[in-house]
């Protein structure tokens, strides 16, 4: 775990990843690896980009970010610029997907995050249509 100088090797965690879930064995809700995560609206301002919900809903303040654990605060910082899929957030945090699922489930339950399921495959546009659009865009670019 440590190099010749007695310091931890770069890229290795000082704390095992399973401890980031703080003893929780599994998420409280079902989350797909492609679930789209975005920050919840703040009570003192407009909803953040990507936030959904009725415009007339009363603003309920989520618990203070100061009460969050370091991994949870890092996840919120990763999502500050915009929405990300769950799997990509796990890569940014350098934590296993299963651990990030547990963290996200807790943050969704606490009101800090929203998680939207991925678009079902049968609702996605056909590949041929997308290829024709891409070919058209390439043609426009070369003009």
pLDDT tens-digit series, residues 111-128: 899 999 888 888 888 999
Distances (CA, A) of 6 to 1, 2, 3, 11, 16: 9, 5, 5, 15, 18
9 — pLDDT class (breaks 50, 70, 90): low
pLDDT band at 26 (very low <50, low <70, confident <90, very high): low
Rounded mean pLDDT, 124-134: 91
Averaged pLDDT of the chain: 75
Q: Higher model confidence: residue 55 or residue 17?
A: 17
pTM, two decimals, is 0.59
The closest of 72, 81, 88, 1 to 36, measured between CA atoms, is 88
Q: What is the pLDDT of residue 44?
A: 46
Chain segment 44-72, per-residue pLDDT in tens: 444 444 444 444 343 444 556 667 888 88
Q: Which residue has the higher pLDDT, 142 or 136?
A: 136
Residues 83-105: pLDDT tens digits?
Answer: 999 999 999 998 888 888 988 98
Closest by alpha carbon to 40, among 49, 31, 27? Answer: 49
């Amino acid at each position: 775990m440590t190099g010749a100088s007695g310091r931890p090797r770069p890229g290795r965690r000082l704390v095992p990843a399973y401890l980031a879930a703080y003893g929780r064995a599994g998420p409280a809700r079902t989350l797909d690896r492609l679930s789209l995560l975005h920050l919840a609206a703040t009570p003192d301002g407009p909803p953040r980009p990507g936030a959904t919900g009725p415009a007339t809903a009363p603003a309920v303040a989520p618990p203070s970010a100061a009460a969050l654990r370091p991994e949870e605060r890092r996840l919120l910082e990763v999502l500050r610029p915009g929405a990300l899929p769950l799997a990509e957030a796990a890569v940014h945090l350098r934590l296993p997907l299963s651990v990030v699922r547990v963290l996200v489930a807790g943050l969704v339950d606490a009101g800090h995050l929203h998680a939207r399921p991925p678009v079902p495959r049968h609702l996605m546009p056909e590949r041929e249509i997308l290829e024709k659009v891409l070919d058209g865009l390439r043609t426009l670019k070369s003009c």
